[in-house]
Structures are given as C-alpha cells and as structure tokens.
Amino acid sequence: MKVVFNEKNTDFKVCLIQNKDLSRFDDKEFFEINDYKGVGAICNLAKRTLYVGLNDELTYASFIASLGSAIKSIKSLNIKSISLEFINLGCEFYSAYAHIYAVISSLYEFNKYHKEPKNSKIELISLETQQNDDIQQGVELGKVLANACEDVKNIVNEIPSTYNQLSFEKDALKLAKEFDLECNVYSDDYLQKEGMNAFLAVNRASSYPAKLIHLAYKPQNAIKKIVYVGKGLVYDTGGLSLKPADYMLTMKADKSGAAAVLGILKAASMLKLPYEIHGIIGAAQNCISEKSYMPDDVLISREGVSIEVRNTDAEGRLVLADCLSFAQDLKPDLLIDLATLTGACVVGLSEYTSGIMGYNEDLQNEFYNNSKRSGEYTCVLHFNPHIKELIKSKIADVSNTGSSRYGGAISAGMFLGEFIRKEYKDKWLHLDIAGPAYVEKVWGENAYGASAAGVRMNIINLLRMARSAK
C-alpha cells in the first residue's frame, strides 16, 4: 500500500463524519432519500464518495472499527486509490496509525481456498492533511502493523492439516533470515533433557515433534530485555478429555498466541525498536492416540512443580508452564505471555476483549492504558487468594483445572503464576486473547477468522514504554 498526502486525483473519496454533522457536505438530497443521519456508513456511487459516521464516543478502537467496516463496503469495487480525510483522535502519531491500519487491515480476507479469490484493488491512500514528522511516522506504524498482522492472520487461518509444529519452525526461520534474528529450534530430545515434561505430555499423541522456538532481536541500542511467550497449539481437540464437536471448531486458532509473537518480532524489527526482544513459541498439537497423556497423570514441570492433570483440555497452561520457565532463564526485564487460554475469558470479557493478568497492578494498568491507543480492547482481571485455592491438588503441587465452575480465566492465570519465580513475579503479564483472536461474527475492521489479537497492543505498549523512558 502506498500512502501519499493531499493527492487530488483519486478514484474515491472517504469522508469522516463526527457528531452526526452532515452540514458541510453538498449532498443533501442523497442523505434525505437514503434517510442517512450520520450513523454508520453510506456510499454515493454517483459521487464516488463514502460517508463514514463515526461513533459519538470517539476512541482509537471505535474509529478503526467504523472506518474499517466502512472500507469493507467499497473494497470489491474497481477502485485503485482513495483519498481519506484526517481526524486527530488526541495524538497525531497514533491517529495517523489508526487511519492507515483501519484501511489496510479491512482489505484482508483469507481466501486462498476459494476457486476464484477476489482481492481488493486499492493500492493508494491519500491522506488529506498537512504532513509532519508525527503523522509520517504514524503512517509508517500503521503500514508495519497491518503487514505484521496480515502474516499473523495467515498463520492462524491456515488449516490444521497443513499447519503443524514444523510449519512454525519454518516460519520462524524465514522471519529470522529476513530480519537477521537469532533463531534456535528445539525438539523432543532437548525438551526431555530440560525436563519439560508438561509441554511434552501435551504433544505426546502427535505425529509431529513438539517444537520450542526461540527467536531473538538484538539491536545495539537496547534499553531493556523483553521476552514474549506464545501458546502455539496448532490444534486443540481437547485430547482424551475430548471437546464436543461444536467447541472443537475454530481450534486451529489455538496457535494465535504463538503467531502473535512472530508478528511482534516482525513489527519490532521493522520499526527498529530499542529493545532486546525474545520470542518463545511452544508449538504442540493436542490430539488423541494410544500415546495420549491422561487425566489423573502427574507431570513434573521444568520448574520442578508437579502438576495433577485433571483435564487434558487445559493443555495450553502446561505448554506455557515449561516455556515460561525457559523464558525466565533469559533474565527478562519484562515477561509477557500471549495465549488463547480459556473459554472462561471469552464468557467473562466477550469476544472483543483480552484479559490482562499478573501480580503487578501498576504494570497491568500501564499496559491497559497503553493498549487503548492500539484500538484493541483489554481488561485487567485481578488475582486473589480464594481463586488460588481452586487450583490446589491433593496429590501434586498444583492442579491443571480449577475446582469451581467460576473464575476460569483467573484460575488459569494463577496456575501460570505458580511457574513464575519470585524475582519475576512483578515483571510478568499474562494476556488471555481467547476472545478476539478468532472472529466468528464479523465486527469492525475484521474479516471472518483470525484478527492478529495481541500484536498491536504489545507494539504500542513498547513504543509508549520507550517514550516514557526518555
């Protein structure tokens, strides 16, 4: 996508309407006949104009959703260029990002399996505003994030018979080559040697080996070391605690956390962020064979904490337990895991919102506030000692499921907390992206399928951390 400024000759014009105010447009008859009052989007084909009614409560999220969903309505037209009005949503840099991200991301569709895939022809956006450094850099951020998110969506949307643990290895090595990242890939033998029995148990029934992938981006000017850990379940059938058919569907998206980690590393490299950033991916497949791990098993994790398996469908936390252990050996200043961890998080927070958990309230609040600029919705879920009681086991140090029907997102987060060493408790965040990672009922800028949840909020959190460090 090419972005220019104030180009007069474009195929289509996109007008942004605030506070339902239509008075500045010379299109009264059209509004009247369509009974358009500035709510939602409407297209006047004769005038080659798209009117986008913005939410009264204008946020980065609502703006991206309104503009993105409006652009979807014209993306199948034979147009190559659009001119787009510009609105300052509070900060020019993030506003420019929001405009560009909304347009580019809304053009995405996972259509490779269609006989005749139709792709949008839009290749140029002209922003109607005076350009300056902030806006220019915001445009760049929008392009980079849209690009990184597209890769993530392609990985998550890829079908389970095609995308397996080895595919993650391939994609990680490709990314490492392109951006000169360090990349080490470990398989079953190494995991065994390291005592990663929780991770290994989950993958035991798979015909592919488990893969722990370690990527590192190490710029010279690094001010901090950040480690991201991603849940990479290439498929989650539930294992012997088998999911019912309806719930199994979409579980190709259980690799979303790991895919987001790849996206974060790509975006960070493209933006040359001043952080040493490590990405750890735990790639496994939770399926059934005579080798399956079983409910009633007890697993000794890499941290030495024993785990009673009460449900083989609570597998993500087992993979993460060992990956978080590996991650802490890297001595991070900030440790963040991303995972489609619980259905309970979707029930509690909706399919639009990711949960933020951890022990450090300031860190959680800072992340929550920073994530607002990204347009992704997050919500802090607090730990408490009553919920910790729920993951007690009679025969091991901890149980992999909570003993109550309630509070499943937090009990899963607190389970992970059992594998965080004392010195890293305040440096750790757990992000449960189970809701927004996969879009079944289309909303906002998103197409059906993967949304690349977690990428934008993390990159923007890093940008804002770097700014406040100055």
Q: Which residues are catalytic?
A: 243, 317
Instruction: Based on the shown chain and the rule CB under 5 A, indicate whether residue 337 belongs to the binding site for Zn ion.
Output: no
Single residue of 164, 340, 354, 371 touching ligand BES by CB under 6 A: 340
Q: Which amino acid is at 171?
A: D
Looking at 8-16, 124-132, 226-234, 261-269, which segment touches Zn ion (CB under 5 A)? 226-234
The kind and range of the H/E element at 127 are: strand 124-128
Instruction: Based on the shown chain and the rule CB under 6 A, indicate whether residue 308 belongs to the binding site for ligand BES.
Output: no
**386 vs 376: CA distance, rounded Å:** 30
Tokens 């509690």 found at: 348
**315 vs 350: CA distance, rounded Å:** 22
Instruction: Based on the shown chain and the rule CB under 6 A, indicate whether residue 40 belongs to the binding site for ligand BES.
Output: no
Q: Which two tokens stand for residue 436?
A: 């927004």
Single residue of 38, 160, 282, 316 touching Zn ion by CB under 5 A: 316
**102 vs 85: CA distance, rounded Å:** 13
Q: Which two tokens stand for residue 303?
A: 């941290």
Instruction: Based on the shown chain and the rule CB under 6 A, indicate whether residue 439 belongs to the binding site for ligand BES.
Output: no
Distance of alpha carbon 156 from its chain centroid, rounded? 10
Q: Is 125 exposed, middle or buried (0-12, 13-18, 19+ CB in 10 A)?
A: buried
Of residues 235 through 294, those in contact with Zn ion by CB under 5 A are: 236, 254
Q: Measured from the CB atom, is 358 or 436 closer to ligand BES?
A: 436
Q: Shortest distance, CB of residue 438 to ligand BES, whole angstroms?
A: 7
Instruction: Based on the shown chain and the rule CB under 6 A, indicate whether residue 203 belongs to the binding site for ligand BES.
Output: no
Q: Shortest distance, CB of residue 86 to ligand BES, whole angstroms?
A: 37
Instruction: Based on the shown chain and the rule CB under 6 A, indicate whether residue 346 belongs to the binding site for ligand BES.
Output: yes
**214 vs 327: CA distance, rounded Å:** 9
**449 vs 253: CA distance, rounded Å:** 8
Instruction: Based on the shown chain and the rule CB under 6 A, indicate whether residue 171 belongs to the binding site for ligand BES.
Output: no
Q: Shortest distance, CB of residue 377 to ligand BES, whole angstroms?
A: 16
Single residue of 374, 401, 446, 461 touching ligand BES by CB under 6 A: 401
Instruction: Based on the shown chain and the rule CB under 6 A, indicate whether residue 315 belongs to the binding site for ligand BES.
Output: yes
Binder of residue 346, out of Zn ion, ligand BES, none (CB less than 5 to 8 A by kind): ligand BES
Q: Which residue is nearest to ligand BES (CB)?
A: 343
* Burial call 426-455: b when 16+ CB within 10 Å, e when fewer: ebbbbbbbbbbbbbeeeebbbbebbbbbbb
Of residues 207 through 246, those in contact with ligand BES by CB under 6 A are: 236
Q: Shortest distance, CB of residue 315 to ligand BES, whole angstroms?
A: 5
Phi and psi at residue 377, to the nearest 5°: -90, 135
Q: Is there a contact between 22 and 38 (Cβ–Cβ < 8 Å)?
A: yes
Tokens 């007008």 found at: 15
Of residues 70 through 129, those in contact with ligand BES by CB under 6 A are: none
**153 vs 120: CA distance, rounded Å:** 17
Q: Shortest distance, CB of residue 390 to Zn ion, whole angstroms?
A: 18
Instruction: Based on the shown chain and the rule CB under 6 A, indicate whether residue 410 belongs to the binding site for ligand BES.
Output: no
**52 vs 21: CA distance, rounded Å:** 11
Counting residues that bind ligand BES (by CB under 6 A) gives: 16
Beta strands, E only, 111-254: 124-128, 182-186, 211-217, 225-236
Q: Which two tokens stand for residue 2?
A: 């090419």
Q: Measured from the CB atom, is 89 or 309 closer to Zn ion?
A: 309
**140 vs 134: CA distance, rounded Å:** 10
Instruction: Based on the shown chain and the rule CB under 6 A, indicate whether residue 172 belongs to the binding site for ligand BES.
Output: no
Q: Measured from the CB atom, is 65 or 412 closer to Zn ion?
A: 412
Beta strands, E only, 18-69: 41-44, 49-53
Looking at 32-40, 96-104, 267-275, 334-342, which segment touches ligand BES (CB under 6 A)? 334-342
Looking at 2-10, 56-64, 183-191, 307-315, which segment touches ligand BES (CB under 6 A)? 307-315
Instruction: Based on the shown chain and the rule CB under 6 A, indicate whether residue 328 belongs to the binding site for ligand BES.
Output: no
Instruction: Based on the shown chain and the rule CB under 5 A, indicate whether residue 313 belongs to the binding site for Zn ion.
Output: yes
Q: Shortest distance, CB of residue 281 to ligand BES, whole angstroms?
A: 16
Q: Shortest distance, CB of residue 349 to ligand BES, whole angstroms?
A: 12
Phi and psi at residue 234, to the nearest 5°: -65, -25
Instruction: Based on the shown chain and the rule CB under 6 A, indicate whether residue 454 belongs to the binding site for ligand BES.
Output: no
The kind and range of the H/E element at 318 are: helix 316-328
Q: Which amino acid is at 271?
A: L
Instruction: Based on the shown chain and the rule CB under 6 A, indicate whether residue 274 belongs to the binding site for ligand BES.
Output: no
Instruction: Based on the shown chain and the rule CB under 6 A, indicate whether residue 451 belongs to the binding site for ligand BES.
Output: no
**Angle of CA points 408, 413, 419, to nearest 5°:** 135
Q: Shortest distance, CB of residue 215 to ligand BES, whole angstroms?
A: 23
Q: Is there a contact between 43 and 49 (Cβ–Cβ < 8 Å)?
A: yes
Binding site for ligand BES (CB under 6 A): 236, 254, 311, 313-316, 340-344, 346, 401, 408, 434
